[in-house]
């Protein structure tokens, strides 16, 4: 299934956000793949600092398992200074509903 959501970075943090993702931790990449995540893309709207993310996953319920892993918690702590986050350092995420798909 396809999943899409938005997040938001702080003004002036776009280059740093990209730099950190260009150097994605191998253990985080492996965790995402172990949970069946593929085709993960994040796009930035420079005018609003809103990130638009899409991914494919066999079972969306597996996304609920990610916060239990130390590497995920460490990544969130690493990213909290450049993006909007919740009290547990997870990014503020707005899920999006698919309304059209052309395969």
Indicate which residues carry an active-site annotation. 21
Q: Could you tell me how far CA 57 lies from the centroid of its own chain?
A: 13
CA distance 35 to 31: 6
Q: What is the DSSP string of 6-48?
A: EEEBPTT-HHHHHHHHHT--HHHHHHHHHTTEEEEEEEEETTT
């Amino acid at each position: 299934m396809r999943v899409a959501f938005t997040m938001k970075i702080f003004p002036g943090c776009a280059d740093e956000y990209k730099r950190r993702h260009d150097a994605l931790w191998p253990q985080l990449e492996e965790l995402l793949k172990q949970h069946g995540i593929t085709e993960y893309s994040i796009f930035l709207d420079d005018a609003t600092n809103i990130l638009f993310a899409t991914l494919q996953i066999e079972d969306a319920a597996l996304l609920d398992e990610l916060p239990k892993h130390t590497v995920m918690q460490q990544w969130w702590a690493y990213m909290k200074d450049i993006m909007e986050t919740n009290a547990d350092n997870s990014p503020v995420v707005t899920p999006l509903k698919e309304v059209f798909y052309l395969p």
